[in-house]
Structure 1
């Protein structure tokens, strides 16, 4: 019950300011009919309830599971298996991310249906999986995050030269997939669990950068799709 109360308060604090502004605009500026106002309020109730239930599930289910898996993976003592597990988990959680579905519809519009939705979803998921595994490599070999980011984004900018113009902005927007409500909490929790075992130092400094690295995968993936289908 304590978790439910905390999350309910957080959701209301996040939603109420926007609700008040929209409600005032509908009444004072747009003079919306009462039916539209009622529809907005009913939709708002469903949004609040959905956010509460979703965040409760994240808090009591996904986050503990991600951290627990992160603690267990390094116990295999084999780097190859650790990387495979990290890739598979990054792939699966991204494939289940709702934001990927929205991205797929945008790419479908840009490509005039030339790129099937499942190809885009799997490409983005593969990109995230690869860079989640790279985050593990960063921890194991103690590679500074800034060097990896410089090399990766240099490659991204070079690749953008060969990518059709219409795909470049969407490619960078694709990085936002890793900040989605499903992917980001899981990757962060996984990173906390892994670093608590693999790192001899405090896990917090090493954990920074998991999402930053994972966000590069979708960018590169969509650019490659643009080169292939463009």
Structure 2
């Protein structure tokens, strides 16, 4: 019950400020049609309900199972299996990420179908999956995070010289939308679970984090490569 109450407060704190600002703008400046305001309020109601149920599901299911999988994987003592599992989970949760689907749909409309939503979703998901796998490699072999971040963003910088300008902006937006409400809880819990088992209590705290920052490089590179192919 405590969890439900805290989740309700969290949703209210996230949704109410946006609702109040839009209503104030409507009353003072914008004056959009009344039907549009009613549609907005109905949308706020559905978003609030959906957000509330989603957070309940995350706390009750996604986070515990993600961390449990992460803790059980090292017991296999097979680095390849851990890396492959990270890749597969990164792929499927990104395909299910609603933010990625919204971006892909908008890009398909703007490009008049030249870049289909399906191709973009697959590219972004593949890019993130590869870098989740690299994050597992980093955790297993104790590779410093800054080495991989510098290497990843160096590739982004070099590749930007060969990519159409429109795809550069799309690629960075793709990196942002992958850190959405579906991918982050599950991937972060997975990384924390693996790091907790593979590290001692003294040195594991730093290894548990940085996974999302590293993984978000993958979609940027993937969309840039897609831009080179569409050039």
TM-score, normalization by structure 1: 0.93
TM-superposed deviation, 1:38: 3.2
TM-superposed deviation, 1:124: 1.2
Gaps of 5+ in 1: none
Matched, 1:214 2:205: no
Q: Secondary structure at the match of 1:206?
A: coil
TM-superposed deviation, 1:111: 4.4
Equivalence for 2:205: 204
Counterpart-to-counterpart distance in 2, 1:142 and 1:32: 56
Equivalence for 1:52: 52
Q: Secondary structure at the match of 1:74?
A: helix
Equivalence for 1:16: 16
Equivalence for 2:100: 100
Equivalence for 2:230: 229
Matched, 1:69 2:54: no
Equivalence for 1:147: 147
TM-superposed deviation, 1:107: 3.4
Equivalence for 1:159: 159
TM-superposed deviation, 1:115: 3.0
TM-superposed deviation, 1:110: 5.4
Between 182-191 and 34-43, the greater mean CA deviation after superposition: 34-43
Gaps of 5+ in 2: none
Counterpart-to-counterpart distance in 2, 1:139 and 1:30: 51
TM-superposed deviation, 1:109: 4.2
The answer (yes or no) to whether the contact 1:67–1:192 under 8 Å persists in 2 is yes
Equivalence for 2:168: 168
Matched residue count: 230
Counterpart-to-counterpart distance in 2, 1:131 and 1:94: 12
The answer (yes or no) to whether the contact 1:175–1:217 under 8 Å persists in 2 is yes
Counterpart-to-counterpart distance in 2, 1:148 and 1:182: 24
RMSD of the TM alignment (CA)?
1.7
Equivalence for 1:4: 4
The answer (yes or no) to whether the contact 1:140–1:199 under 8 Å persists in 2 is no
